[in-house]
Structure 1
Amino acid sequence: KPYQCSQCEKAFSDKSTFIGHQRTYTGEKPYQWGQCDKAFSQNDGLIKHQRIHTGEKPYQCGQCDKTFSQNSSLIRHHKTHTGEKPQCSKAFSKHSNVIHTGEKPYQCNQCEKAFSDKSTFIRHQTTHTGEKPYQCGQCDKTFSQNYNLKLHQRTHTGEK
Structure 2
Amino acid sequence: MPDRTPSLRRIGWSATTFAVAAAITALSAPPAFATVGPVDVEDPAGYGTPDSAPVAGQLYRVTADADINLITSGTVTFYDNGQCIASAPEPPTVGHTGIRNFSFVYWVPTAGTHTLTAAQNGRTATTTVTVTAASAGSTPAQQPKQPGCGGGGSLDLGSVNLLPGSSGL
Same-fold call, TM cutoff 0.5: no
Which TM-score bucket, shorter chain as reference?
Answer: under 0.3
The TM-score with structure 1 as length reference comes to 0.18
Q: Rg bigger for which structure?
A: 2
Tell me which protein shows more strand as a share of its residues. Answer: 2
The TM-score with structure 2 as length reference comes to 0.18
Using CA pairs below 8 Å that are at least 6 residues apart, which structure has the higher relative contact order?
2
